[in-house]
Structure 1
Amino acid sequence: MTLNKVVGSAAEAVADIPNGASLAVGGFGLAGIPWFLISALLEQGAGDLTIVSNNCGVDGAGLGLLLEARRISRVVASYVGENKEFARQYLAGELTVELTPQGTLAERLRAGGSGIGAFFTPTGVGTLVAEGGLPWRYRSDGSVALASPAKEVRTFGDKEMVLEESIVTDYALVRAAVVDKAGNCKFHAAARNFNPPAAMAGRITVVEAEQVVEVGALHPDEIHLPGIFVKRIVELTPEQAAHKDIEKRTIRARGADQ
């Protein structure tokens, strides 16, 4: 029998995510995010979530919807500059935020999916990333309630490096361009940024796919993520697959001067 990981709907795919779960979520800004899995999770109702993602959506879109509904309690991210509600919750002491260098975050996810417990990197040496003291959570009066701890620093050759722990989450939500029924994934262009490492980090990984094909339809060189990392697949309709917003749209009148 051919392996088939396709489930009936996005709602079915996220139905068992409980309160307090941790989730790795793919995408960069609004590019390549799992729009419909996020929407289904919003409808499902789980709260007190820990989200590991490059950013936390924007006001009114993506993970920003979960944030506005007060369903997220902790975020591990790199870039959060496009979300005013995120900043408000963080500075008001309503949200715990672990800011992480972007490449380090990607490697922490990849390492978690590869069974690597931790790794050394020069990124962050000599800063609060290594020395500790980054405000993870504020009090309502603006004082720091929780700060990042100091990390181990060792010298390799002639270069100091800081120890970073890998990340493994309960679930992962990602989006792919083409997925076969066994879960082998192909990502398109910029969507191939945080989606593969996020998918690797989840114990239960759910993929929303713009196109689902039979096993064998993808050439091995096209596969960016092996199906062993994928537990569930949601096939999008053509209309859903075409839904690809961006944070800021800048246009110029046709024929305008260069």
Structure 2
Amino acid sequence: MPEWIEVILRTIFAVVALFFLTKLLGKRQVSQLSFFEYITGITLGSIAAYVSLDTDKTWHLGVIALLVWVVFSYGIEYLQIKSKKARDFIDFKATVLIKDGKILEDNMKKERLTTDELLEELRKKDVFKVADVEFAIMESDGAINVLLTRENQPLTPKHLGVKVAPERETQAVIMDGKVLDEPLDTLGLTRGWLQGQLDKLGFTVENVFLGQVDSYGELTVDLYADKVEVPQPQEKPQLYALLKKCEADLEMFSLSTENKAAKQMYEQCSEQLQAILVTLKPLIQS
């Protein structure tokens, strides 16, 4: 066999083997790497390159080395799962860099981190003033996470005492002009329902590049034709407006009647509907 063909075949073999072996090691190998995973990634790549390019008779030894590295890495990851001491020794402990708005210089020196580098990492978190930081920590993968002081944290609905509707995962039900049945089943919907929603919008499945249904059963679509305007759903705002009108009508009936029993009934119904609207507002008002 010509040498160049052998190199091509070995390269294909190395790529396929590296793909499956890395997949075996899990998603952590392609996310933020820890210290040991960084070493493993470099070594596996180097061995795979050796296997694909070595033209001697010993190239199969590279395959053995590749397998040994994967088995060893798998064992290390298993040990890390079972033992915190092993995790701390292999991947290092997290280091506190800022506490109560004060930079801990000794920990900065320990991590060989300069002030400029720390400020750069803070700016990446949209923090420009060290005094605004309650707590900053360098994780084992080198990332720096920041907790702002309470007065500098963004406001949330909870801070304001506002109830919001629970949010679940939005499902893609149309992709590349094709209906995806599994997400529809997850939402408890059918193709007939989807077709009905598309008919309301005036589109066909083939027109839709991406269609998504949120946890409240509302369909939003992105079309292949970017210049075509997609009508916005109006059902929920219309429902809220109708309920508000009913509440106003009940109040008007209460004011216009002379019958005490009827007046009391209208007032009670109006108060009950008002309480229901407070509960439903996060769900139906856009």
Q: TM-score range by the shorter chain?
A: under 0.3
Q: TM-score of the superposition, structure 2-length normalised?
A: 0.19
Structure with more of its chain in helix, by fraction: 2
Structure with more of its chain in strand, by fraction: 1
